[in-house]
Amino acid sequence: MWTDIRQEIERARQELGLTPAQFQPLGLAEWPAVEKRVNGTFADPNYKSRQAVLLWTRLRPDLPRTGLPDVDAAVDEEKLQLLRALWQPDESVFFFAQEGISDPKMWWYQARSPAAWTIVETLGPQARRLQEWGIVDCHYQWILFINHSDHMLFCGTALIERLRNVASDHQLRMGEP
């Protein structure tokens, strides 16, 4: 049985007419390796906690990061549309969603970056109950988080450079979210 958010993501995929080549869930044999590699690449290896903690709160200290402090991912539809320019049509990414801290299960999908971003735009306000969700480059060079407060955190030099170009074209302020 799929959880509510998993059903909402699938409903959005169908409504948008996204094909499996554009957006599909990772299988049971695939997602553990992706999650392990994401944690190994982006998480602080020295972070110690007995409780499950969201990845965006325990990033490597040397990981370049920035945000868009004036953009609320749940309500700023116009600004989210401007960010479509970040995504390259044939770029493969992973999309992820985590419903809560008490249930640290992350749902993983393989996608083309424009399709993953369209899911972000579509779920927007409905995703407020999510603790963490976002998009990861399939080469593990960058990661984008949207947290439970609807703040966006862009990590990795390549993604930050793309954001810098879009932000300067559209007068979006970059900084700590």
Tens-place pLDDT, residues 48-67: 876 667 888 889 999 999 99
Helices (H) and strands (E) in the chain, counts: 5, 7
Q: How many CA atoms lie within 13 A of 48 on its CB side?
A: 1
User: The whole model's pTM is what?
Assistant: 0.90
pLDDT in tens, 123-172: 866 655 667 889 999 999 999 998 877 788 999 999 999 999 999 998 88
Domain extent listing, the chain: 4-44+52-170
